[in-house]
Structure 1
Amino acid sequence: MKKLSVLALSVLFISGWASSNASAEANDASDRVIISFKEDIDYDLLEEMGAEIHEEFDAISAVSVTLPNEQLVQTASNDSSIEYVEENSIVTAAGQTTTWGYRTVKANTATSLGYTGKGVKIAIIDSGINSKHPDLKVAGGVSKVENSSAFTDGNGHGTHVAGVIGAQNNSIGTVGVAPDSLIYSVKVLSANGVGTLEGVVAGIQWAIDQKVDIINMSLTTINDDQALRDITQKAYDAGIVVIAASGNEREKGLYKDVLYPARFPSVIAVGSVSKLNKLSYFSNYGASQELVAPGEGILSSFTDSKTTSNEDYAVSEGTSVASPFVAGTFAQYMEAYPHLSNKQLRETVNRVAFDLGVKGRDNTYGNGLVQSLQTKAALFPDLKNNVWYTLPIQKNFDRGIITGLTDGTYRPDATITRAEAITMIGRALKLNKTNTNHHFSDVPKDSYAAGYINSAYELGYIKGINEKEFRPNDPIKRGDMALIMQSAFKLSGTQQAGFKDVPKTMYYYDAIQAAYATKVVKGYADNTFRPKNPITRAESAEVINNALK
């Protein structure tokens, strides 16, 4: 394990990344516009307008172009086939004014458990990465900076971000939160820390095309650019976790929320906190703040133009530094829960964040301080390993019978509805899920369970509460579950369970006896079955798994 306290090289205090030369680069791209089409890109129309195409963004049917004159920009805006036209605005690195952070997010615990982001692809959309740095491994990359084909780093910003995420667990420098992740350098900022909307959109498009898992953007703009909003949404819809710095403009008092792109709903906005878990003096905050992470005095890999060495390190601060802590943490969770979607992972990481400020989510700290994995992962984040339900749930998951809930949990102790129970049984028996012969008025035709309920009814496995109602959203009782299991799995047996709360006069008596005889169900230690109690999600998984043995 590396020692984070080692600081053998010069400490740099950086107040900002954009130098006085930035304006010249900005002017070179200021004549360009982003044109988004309602349908496919209309190349014939672009040719008629004399447009010079610089970049194509297929994901949002848009292009970056230069038009011969200003009048054509207005003409394009009025064309019925065009969704919008917007200026190619300028974005900048979320400036670092000058590393306890690794331990504060408890990455050391996750590493000891074996979660290092192995195999997770992370695109760092920034100033590039020094791929020759001995503490970094760069899997690939691209440059979207004009007249710069290499994705190396002439600024240092991207290299610093890369180190927070993926500095190698070796004998030098620092260690990243996810040292075994696959880092991709997507260069969109010049050596002066300045980039364009066109470059950032192109960089995100590249990341989508490469099917990365996570995008980190330690950059900000004050503009709500539609093209940037659209492309980040496309990335999110493609299953990518998109993370961005909240911005370092708090002291100016000009903004009531985080900056863009962090403010977009598809993006996880990350603010910065100090060693005292207080919001950093520079960190933006607001309603869009989702998480916070360490962002002051963070040591990481660097590129210093004043040296000839590739072994530079620097201590910096800013939301630029906080954002990669969150990106690395998501890589750990992706490794641990590869079957969870980006939306489920987002809810999971938010749910386990360490609450700061007022109780619950707030505008200052969002959901709280990001936290790495602290226990060996079970199938779902809220399950335990090596308990009675572990194997049945895993088996049913492997069979495609269960998928968990939309927030990434399983909730083993929660009740299961009648619709959910029939869906699980239907999947287990491969019933026709597209059956449209509807029999119950209270089962919506577009319900996920409708086909299974229709099929199970026609096969005689289930009955309604009455002729017209099934009550799909009611919890299913243990006695009723036994009755359905007996019918669906053809259970029979003569062994008498003798449960004291299951009288022979009850409609489910024979079913419980048969299910018990075939070891599909169990009773309780007090010789009860509790047939009127709702069955839990864990119990239903065990019952179905027993029936399939």
Structure 2
Amino acid sequence: MRRFLALILTILTAVSLAVPLPVLAAEEPAADFDGYLVRLNETGEADSLTLLGTDSCSEVSEGLCLVEDLDTVQAMDQLGLVEYYEPNYRLELLDAGEYTPTQWNLLATNAQAAWEHTDAGGRFDARGDGVTVAIIDSGVWAEHTDFDQANILPYFDVAGTASGVDGWHGTFVAGVIAAQVGNGMGVDGVTPDVTILPICVTKNGNATVAHLVSAIDYAVEQGVDVINLSIGGNNAAQAMEEACRRALDAGIILVAAAGNYKAGQTQSSSIYMYPASFDGVVSVSACRQDGQQVVFDDSYSYFNDQVTVSAPGTDIQSLYPDGGVATREGTSFAAPMVTAMAAMAKQRCPDITPEAFMQLLCASATDLGEPGYDIYYGHGLVDIAAFLEALDESFPAAPEICYFAQYAANGQMLTVTQLPGGEADLETVEIVDGAVLGKLFRLDDTGAPLSEAQIITLDPSN
């Protein structure tokens, strides 16, 4: 069977079968595409090694193949190997233009609340520390001085670029999320302590559904917490939706750009961008500044009944791969504002589900436009300060238990004191005779350490 199958596939690269074959997907779709994505059934998966041995087939993910020509796809279907197939649609990065620099987006969404928010011990707990965000885009130029290079993971290149960076777009997105705050250079990011996993899916600006599926699956394998998708297309590819569902089922929050209209394109609420419009994905439309108000930017932003929330997307200032700063517009740059909020939620509550995050996000947004939900703003303009308040109420920080241990010069523990009021109670602790070193332990209510012990040198004369 395997040899016979391989022979048929080889013959069909030159000659089509005379017998009419059933069509499961459009043979000549209107959108641009590169080959076909084929989901193999159980029979097909058993023969996948033979299929992948041909020049026209390559593996995208488990059970999903990219096949170059329709004749081969139809032959596979005729042999009963295929669950479904569809065009491998091309995708686009969702930027719209370059404009005058400003960081009004941070003020409009109360981003400073994240930089100042602390837990009971006075530690920042909304800057994204310990949270990994995958940016599936054109790559990230990690050498920019406004990034914390220690927080940029090695890149994964799906598209086959020389350096993992294909233009400026991904770096710009990453800057909105993770640029350092208050360092006097570049811009201020919303969550400066977050860890970034750059995944490049474009080459010369081009990407396909197959690239995106591979990237999402890789992010899931790496155990990321949040995925930013400032990329998309107008076709609801089933393989793409399946990849998004795998990520959501793994507890990963997906945030995507709602989409941009091109110049002269007819605007309609019946036009959707994917993956933003898949169920479970947070779809973010774009707003602009109008005097002292924030309004929906109808010059380019998509609007439809899948929009979840809105965020500033026009006149957004961020980082460029040349080491400088530029200002652009697009739903591509509204989405990372919300991605940063997802990182805040994951820092506070690592087990928060995508559904719970979306509920908090929508409930804390500022209602704009028509009262209640509408197709332009979704549930409203995101408000980081209100979101953190909602997060505090829904996921209160676990009570912190502090102990202070004192040690002699030879390392012997002399005494341990519980501090009901936390670190502030240190001033009331009496230093015992012979103690030269103290250690402050912070534990949660289960006894697990919240951080490494803080070492304090003691003065025996006091």
Same fold (TM over 0.5): yes
Counterpart amino acid of residue 37 in structure 2: I
Pairing partner for 2:187 from 174, 177, 182:
174
The structural deviation recorded for 1:126 is: 0.5
The structural deviation recorded for 1:41 is: 6.1
Contact map agreement 1:55 1:202 (CA 8 A) in 2: no
Counterpart amino acid of residue 360 in structure 1: G
The structural deviation recorded for 1:85 is: 1.2
The structural deviation recorded for 1:43 is: 5.2
The structural deviation recorded for 1:346 is: 1.6
Contact map agreement 1:291 1:365 (CA 8 A) in 2: yes
The structural deviation recorded for 1:285 is: 0.7
Separation of aligned partners in 2, 1:77 and 1:243? 35
Q: Which residue of 2 aligns with 1:369?
A: 381
The structural deviation recorded for 1:46 is: 5.8
Partner SS state of residue 273, structure 1: strand
The structural deviation recorded for 1:65 is: 3.2
Matches within 5 A, 1:435-474: none
The structural deviation recorded for 1:96 is: 2.4
Q: Which residue of 1 aligns with 2:136?
A: 125
Q: Which residue of 1 aligns with 2:312?
A: 294
The structural deviation recorded for 1:248 is: 0.9
Contact map agreement 1:166 1:176 (CA 8 A) in 2: yes
Question: RMSD across aligned C-alpha pairs, in angstroms?
Answer: 2.6
Q: 1:77 to 1:340 in 2, by over 3 A?
A: same
Q: 1:79 to 1:269 in 2, by over 3 A?
A: farther
Matches within 5 A, 1:85-234: 85-98=85-98, 99-113=103-117, 114=124, 115-136=126-147, 137=149, 138-146=152-160, 148=161, 150-151=163-164, 153-169=165-181, 170-190=183-203, 192-234=204-246
Counterpart amino acid of residue 199 in structure 1: H
Partner SS state of residue 76, structure 1: helix
Instruction: Spell out, residue by residue over 1:42-100, the C-alpha distance to the aligned partner (whole angstroms, 9 max, x if none).
Output: 25256258354433312xx312233xx53222122345442211122110111321111
Q: 1:374 to 1:279 in 2, by over 3 A?
A: closer
Separation of aligned partners in 1, 2:283 and 2:349? 22
Matches within 5 A, 1:374-453: 374=386, 381-382=393-394
Separation of aligned partners in 1, 2:337 and 2:315? 13
Partner SS state of residue 175, structure 1: coil
Counterpart amino acid of residue 307 in structure 2: Q
- Unaligned stretches of 5+ residues in structure 1: 1-28, 304-309, 396-549
In the alignment of these two chains, the number of paired residues is: 348
Separation of aligned partners in 2, 1:161 and 1:32? 29
Q: 1:41 to 1:149 in 2, by over 3 A?
A: farther
Matches within 5 A, 1:319-398: 319-374=331-386, 381-382=393-394
Q: Which residue of 2 aligns with 1:47?
A: 50
Q: 1:316 to 1:39 in 2, by over 3 A?
A: same
| Structure with larger Rg | 1
Q: 1:227 to 1:51 in 2, by over 3 A?
A: farther
Q: Does 1:32 align with 2:44?
A: no
The structural deviation recorded for 1:375 is: 8.2
Partner SS state of residue 88, structure 1: strand
Separation of aligned partners in 2, 1:54 and 1:92? 22
Q: Which residue of 2 aligns with 1:74?
A: 74
Contact map agreement 2:146 2:186 (CA 8 A) in 1: yes
Partner SS state of residue 325, structure 1: helix
- Unaligned stretches of 5+ residues in structure 2: 1-31, 118-123, 402-462
Matches within 5 A, 1:259-278: 259-275=273-289, 276-278=293-295
Separation of aligned partners in 2, 1:120 and 1:203? 18
Q: 1:78 to 1:372 in 2, by over 3 A?
A: farther
Instruction: Spell out, residue by residue over 1:319-377, the C-alpha distance to the aligned partner (whole angstroms, 9 max, x if none).
Output: 01101111011111221233422221121111111111112111111111112145876
Q: Which residue of 2 aligns with 1:492?
A: none
Separation of aligned partners in 1, 2:51 and 2:187? 55
Partner SS state of residue 375, structure 2: coil
Contact map agreement 2:95 2:328 (CA 8 A) in 1: no
Contact map agreement 1:163 1:300 (CA 8 A) in 2: yes
Where has structure 1 moved over 6 Å in runs of 4 or more? 375-379
Separation of aligned partners in 2, 1:317 and 1:350? 23
Contact map agreement 1:109 1:374 (CA 8 A) in 2: no
Counterpart amino acid of residue 215 in structure 1: I
Instruction: Spell out, residue by residue over 1:455-494, the C-alpha distance to the aligned partner (whole angstroms, 9 max, x if none).
Output: xxxxxxxxxxxxxxxxxxxxxxxxxxxxxxxxxxxxxxxx
Counterpart amino acid of residue 278 in structure 1: V
Contact map agreement 1:329 1:371 (CA 8 A) in 2: no
Contact map agreement 1:128 1:188 (CA 8 A) in 2: yes
Contact map agreement 2:40 2:84 (CA 8 A) in 1: yes
Separation of aligned partners in 1, 2:193 and 2:48? 47
Counterpart amino acid of residue 123 in structure 1: A
Instruction: Spell out, residue by residue over 1:267-287, the C-alpha distance to the aligned partner (whole angstroms, 9 max, x if none).
Output: 111100011321112100100
Contact map agreement 2:106 2:112 (CA 8 A) in 1: yes
Q: Does 1:253 align with 2:263?
A: no
Separation of aligned partners in 1, 2:255 and 2:79? 34
Contact map agreement 2:146 2:180 (CA 8 A) in 1: yes
The structural deviation recorded for 1:218 is: 0.7
Partner SS state of residue 215, structure 1: strand
Q: Which residue of 1 aligns with 2:3?
A: none
Partner SS state of residue 42, structure 1: helix
The structural deviation recorded for 1:266 is: 2.5
Q: 1:343 to 1:279 in 2, by over 3 A?
A: same
Q: 1:144 to 1:379 in 2, by over 3 A?
A: closer
Counterpart amino acid of residue 175 in structure 1: D
Q: Which moved more, 1:122-131 or 1:374-383?
A: 374-383
Separation of aligned partners in 1, 2:43 and 2:383? 42
Partner SS state of residue 145, structure 2: coil
Separation of aligned partners in 1, 2:70 and 2:230? 33
Separation of aligned partners in 1, 2:345 and 2:210? 32
Partner SS state of residue 154, structure 2: strand
Separation of aligned partners in 2, 1:264 and 1:376? 26
Partner SS state of residue 218, structure 2: helix
Separation of aligned partners in 2, 1:259 and 1:268? 12
Instruction: Spell out, residue by residue over 1:374-413, the C-alpha distance to the aligned partner (whole angstroms, 9 max, x if none).
Output: 587698634778xxxx97xx99xxxxxxxxxxxxxxxxxx
The structural deviation recorded for 1:32 is: 2.8
Counterpart amino acid of residue 187 in structure 1: C
Counterpart amino acid of residue 245 in structure 1: A
